[in-house]
Chain A
Amino acid sequence: MEKGYVIRPGENGFERAMEILGMVYKFPEDISDEDVEGAANFVFPALRNTVLGLLELPANRGLEIFFFKKLLEYFWEAQRAHEEGKKIIFIPFTFPPELFFAFDSLVPLCTEVFSGLIVNICYGQGERFWDYAVSLGLPDSMCSGNTIGIASLLYGPGLKPDAIVYNTPGSCNPNAKIHAFAADYLGIPQFALEKPVDESPRGREQYYKYLLRFVRELEEWAGEELKEERLREVMERSYRAVDLYNEYWELKKARPCPVPNIFSMTLLVLRSQLWGREEAIEVLQRMVDISRERMRKGEYAAPEELARIYVSYIYWLFDFYGYFTWMEKRGISILGDILAIHYFPPIDYSSKESMLRAYADIAFDYPMTRQMGGESISLRWLEDVCYAAKDLGADACVFGGVHACKHTLGTISFFRREMMKRLGLPTLVLIGDVFDKRQTPMEIFQKEVDTFIDQVVSRKKRARRRS
C-alpha cells in the first residue's frame, strides 16, 4: 500500500511511538528545567508542545514521566502478546477496560489512546494516517480520535489486532461504524455490545443481558472462561482506583484549583487503558498526593485563578502545551470534561454475577455512553454537565466541539441556552477536532478563549465584585 511513501516494518505509528517513548523511559523523574528544554529542542518542532505540555510545569513533571513509563510498560506487554500466545483486541475509549483485564489471554488496546500516541509522539502528528483514511474513501467528517489509529492498522506493517470490540452502537455512529468497518476491512472478528437508548429498568436489564451474551461470545473466541476470582481481583483494583478518583474530584473543588490541567488528560488515558491494573492506582495516587500538597501550599501556576471552566464536551488533544499548560499559565483551571464524569455503583464482590451487574452499570453510565446513548442526548448531557459544573464551581463552559460528533453538534444550541437558564453559565462554542490541528489550529482556540474569558467571564466577575 504505497501512497507516496513507504512504511517499513517497525516504522508504523505505534512502533515509532514505542521507540521514542523508550527514550522517555530513561528520564529520571526529577528531570531539571535545562533537561526539559533540551528534550523540547531535541524532538521535531511540532512535538515540542508535547514535551513542554507534560514537563514544563514542575508540579506535574515527575508524575507525567512516571505515568508514561507505566503506559510504556503496558504497551511492551502488548507488543509481546502474540509471542506469549495472547490475543490483542482493540476497544474504544468508551469501553471500561477492566473486564478485559480479567481475561488472562486478552490484551486490550484502546483505539483512541493508540491514536493519541501517534498524534502526540510521532513526526507528522498522525496526519499521514488521517490522509490515508480519507484516500481510501472514508468521509473526512469521521472522528480522528479513532480513525488515525485504525488507519495505521489498515495501512501497513506492525501491530495487528486479533479482533475488534466496540460498545458504541446506541451512543455514537462514527465510533461504532469505524470499528465495524476496520473488522470487515481486515477480515477479523468483531464483538459488539449495544447500549439501548433506554434508561428505564427494562433498558438496564436488557443491557445486562447483552453484556452476558457479549462475555459468552468473547469467552468462546478467546478459548478462556471469565473466572470469578480473576474478575474479583480486577474489580477490587478498579474500586481502589475509584476511591482515588473520588478524592481527585473533591480536590478539584478547591480555589485555586490545585489539580494541574494536564492531569485531565492523564486521568482520561488511565481510565481508558489501565483501569483495573495496579498502574492506574499508582499513578492516581501520585496525582492525588501532588494535588493535595499543592492545595496545602496554595500553589497555582498563575498569579490569580481567572476562571474555572468546564469543558462541556471533550478536550482537544493534539497540543498539550497549547491547550492545558497555556490555560493553566493564564489562570484558567480546567475542571473536567464529559469524559471525566464517572458513576461507580456500590459493588458486591460475592459472585461473578454480582460483579458483572456492577460492571454493566458502570458501562451503562460510562462517559459518552451515558449521555449520547441516553434517552435524550440533550437532556442527559445537559443534566450531567450541570451537575459537574455546579459541584466543582465552574464560571463558564467551553464546548470544544469535534466535527465528527454529530450528536452533540446537533443539540449544542439547546445545551447552551439551557446552561445559561439553569446555572447562568455562558458557553463558548468552538468547532474543531480532537486530534487534527488542521481543522482549527490551537492559536485560534487560544484567541477565542482569551476573548471569551476577558469579555464574558472576567467582566461578569468584576461586575459582581463591584456590586
Chain B
Amino acid sequence: MAVIGTHLELKEIYDPYVREWKEKGGQVVGYSCLTTPVELIEAAGLLPYRIKALGNPWTELADGEMSLFNCSFCRSCLQLALEGTYDFLDGIIETNGCDHLRAMFENWQHNRNLPFFHYLKVPHFFRDDSLEYYLGELELLREHLASHFSAEADNDSLRRAIDDWNLVREKWRELCSLRELSEPKVTGGEALALELAGSHMTGRDFAQLLGNFIEERKGEPGKKPKARLMFCGPATDEVAWMEEIESLGAVIVADTLCFGSRAFMHKPGQGSEPLEELARGYLDSIFCPRMYQEYAKRRDYILGTAQRAQVDGVIYLFNKFCDLHGTESVLVRRDLEGAKIPVLVLEKEYSSADLGRVKTRVQAFLERIGGGA
C-alpha cells in the first residue's frame, strides 16, 4: 500500500487509500470509539476504519431516526450511513461509548443490516475484574472476526500490529513535541488532519505518514503564536473548523480530543499474551468521562499537559447534548482555574452551523487571556 506522503487534504469518506485497499480485494471494518483495539482488526488482515463525518452538516435522514436531542456528530455519521456513503464497509463494531453512539449504531444496523455486526462491550472501570471481562470481550471479537472473515488474528500477526501501532503512538508523541515548542512547527488543524488521515490506515502506513511529516517539519522554522491554546473534549473531526479558530491568531499546541491526542494515549500494557497486553493497555488508557471514577486521573493529565505546553488557556469544547463532557467541564473549569489556567467552556453544534458565534466567543476569550488580535 502506497503511503500518502504528507498530503493532508482528506475530503472524502471513501478516500483513495480505502478505495485502493478495497480494489485490491481488502475488507474494511468500521468502528467509532477509541476503546476498539485497531490492532486486533488489523491483525485479522482487515482495515480498521474509524467512522467520521468530516463536517457533514446534513442530518435529515438521521433526524427521522434519532431525535434532535441527540449529538449532532452521531446524527451526521448516521446520515452518511443511511444515504449509503458507508456502504463500502464490510462490517461494523459497536461499542458502548455513550448513549448517543449506541443509538447511532442500533439505527445503523436496523436500517442497513450489515453482514458483520459485532458489539464490543467495554467496562466503565479499570479494575482486575473488569479487565478480565474486557479480555474475554476481545477474545469474542477475535473469534467473530475469524469466523466471519475467515481471517484469524494469531499471536504473531497481533504482535506485529501491536508493534506498528506502538510506533504510531511514539511518532505522535514526537509530533506533539513539535506542537509544544515555543514556536510551534505544527498547528492543531494539521495534527487533526493527520489523525483523520491515519484513522483508516494500517499502523505501518500511518507511522510512515507521521514520520515523513515530522521529518519535513523539523527543518522548518516555527511561528510564535499570539496565544497558546489547549483543546479538550470529545470527537471533533472538523479540520476547517479548527483552522478557523487558529486563524484568530492562536495555535492549539496541545489537546486531549477524541480525534486527536486522546487516540494515542494508549500505554503498552503488560501481559503474557498479546491479547492480554492489548486489553490492559486499552482499558487503562480510556481518557473519556464515561470512565466515571477516573476524573482525578484526567484532571491531572490535563493539568500536567497544560503546564508542560505552557498554554495561555484551555478550551473545553463539546457538542450540544453531550452530557458526559458537559458535566465534566464544570469540574475541569473549577480545577484548572484554581490552578490559574483560564478556561473557556464551549458548547457547540457539529459542523460549521454556529461557527460565527463560536468565533466571537473564542475571540473574546483570546482577548481575556491576552492573545487577542
Interface residue ranges, A against B (CB under 8 Å): 136-139, 141-142, 169-170, 172-174, 176-178, 180-181, 184-185, 190, 192, 194, 196-198, 202-203, 206, 209-210, 213, 372, 375-378, 401, 403-404, 406-407, 409-414, 431
Contacts and interface: CB of A to CB of B under 8 A. Distances in A.
A410 B295 contact: no
27 contacts: A137-B330, A139-B347, A142-B326, A170-B96, A170-B124, A173-B98, A173-B324, A176-B292, A180-B295, A181-B327, A184-B331, A190-B292, A192-B292, A194-B124, A197-B121, A202-B136, A210-B129, A213-B127, A376-B106, A406-B69, A406-B70, A406-B99, A406-B323, A410-B70, A410-B103, A411-B103, A414-B65
Contact of B66 (A141, A178, A376, A410): A410
Contact of A407 (B65, B103, B289): B103
Interface residues of B, number: 48
Interface in B45-79: 64-67, 69-71, 74
Contacts of B123: 194, 196
A177 B106 contact: no
A210 B127 CA distance: 10
B102 interface: yes
A410 B320 contact: no
B17 interface: no
B330 A173 contact: no
B107 interface: yes
Contacts of B130: 194, 210
Given A170-B124, A177-B323, A404-B323, A409 B333 contact: no
A186 to B, nearest CB: 11
B328 interface: yes
B106 A194 contact: no
Contacts of A180: 292-293, 295
A409 B69 contact: yes
Contacts, number: 142
Given A409-B69, A431-B67, A209 B129 contact: yes
A139 B102 contact: no
B283 interface: no
Given A170-B96, A213-B129, A409-B67, A192 B324 contact: no
A206 B320 contact: no
A177 B124 contact: no
A408 B133 CA distance: 27
Contacts of B64: 413
Among A136, A173, A181, residue most surrounded by chain B Cβ atoms (within 10 Å):
A173
Interface in B154-208: none
Given A194-B125, A406-B69, A412-B67, A377 B102 contact: yes
A190 to B, nearest CB: 7
B295 A184 contact: yes
A142 B327 CA distance: 8
A147 B345 CA distance: 20
Given A197-B102, A378-B103, A406-B100, 19 more contacts: A136-B330, A138-B330, A142-B323, A169-B124, A173-B323, A181-B331, A185-B331, A190-B292, A192-B124, A197-B121, A198-B121, A202-B136, A203-B121, A213-B127, A375-B119, A377-B102, A378-B106, A409-B69, A410-B103
